[in-house]
Amino acid sequence: MKIGILGATGAVGRQMLECIEERNINAEEIRLFASEKSKGKTMMYKGQELVIDVADAENLKGLDYVLGAVSNAMSKYYRPLIKEAGAVYIDNSSAFRLEDDVPLVVPQINGEDALKHNGIIANPNCSTIITMMALAPIARISPIKTLTATTFQAVSGAGINGFYELEEQIEQVKNNEPVTPKVFPAQIAFNCIAEIGSYNDNGYTTEEMKMQNEGRKILHLPDLKVTCTCVRVPVYRSHSISAAFETEQFVSIEDAEKAVAAFEGDKLVKDHVPQPIETSNQDIVHVGRIRYDLTRDNALTLWCCGDQIRKGAATNAVEIMEYLENH
Ligand SMILES: NC(=O)c1ccc[n+]([C@@H]2O[C@H](COP(=O)([O-])OP(=O)(O)OC[C@H]3O[C@@H](n4cnc5c(N)ncnc54)[C@H](OP(=O)(O)O)[C@@H]3O)[C@@H](O)[C@H]2O)c1
Per-residue pLDDT of the chain (327 residues; tens, 9 = 90+): 999 999 999 999 999 999 999 999 999 999 999 999 999 999 999 999 999 999 999 999 999 999 999 999 999 999 999 999 999 999 999 999 999 999 999 999 999 999 999 999 999 999 999 999 999 999 999 999 999 999 999 999 999 999 999 999 999 999 999 999 999 999 999 999 999 999 999 999 999 999 999 999 999 999 999 999 999 999 999 999 999 999 999 999 999 999 999 999 999 999 999 999 999 999 999 999 999 999 999 999 999 999 999 999 999 999 999 999 999
Q: Can you tell me which atom of ligand 1 is nearest the CA of 34?
A: 34
142 vs 259: CA distance, rounded Å: 11
- Strand, coil or helix: 175: coil
Q: Please compute Rg for the chain using Cα positions.
A: 20
Choose, from 19, 228, 239, 305, the residue flagged as catalytic. Answer: 239
| Residues in contact with 306: Cβ distance below 8 Å, sequence separation at least 6, in sequence order | 129, 130, 133, 238, 239, 279, 284, 285, 286, 312
Choose, from 19, 117, 126, 228, the residue flagged as catalytic. Answer: 126
160 vs 2: CA distance, rounded Å: 26
Name every protein residue with a CB atom under 6 angstroms from any ligand 1 atom: 7-13, 33-35, 37-38, 69-71, 74, 92-93, 126, 156-157, 159-160, 308-309, 312-313
Q: Which domains are assigned to the chain?
A: 2-123+313-326 (3.40.50.720), 128-308 (3.30.360.10)
For 178, 187, 188, 189, 207, the CA distances from 172, given in Å and listed in that order, are: 7, 11, 12, 9, 29
User: Ligand 1 pocket: which of 12, 163, 214 to mutate (most atoms <8 Å of CB)?
Assistant: 12
9 vs 43: CA distance, rounded Å: 8
Ligand 1 mean position, distance from CA 292 (Å):
39
The model scores a pTM over 0.95: yes
80 vs 73: CA distance, rounded Å: 13
Cα-flanking dihedrals φ and ψ of residue 26, to 5°? -75, 80
From the number of C-beta atoms within 10 Å of its C-beta (0-12, 13-18, 19+), residue 281 rates as exposed
CA 229 from centre of chain: 17
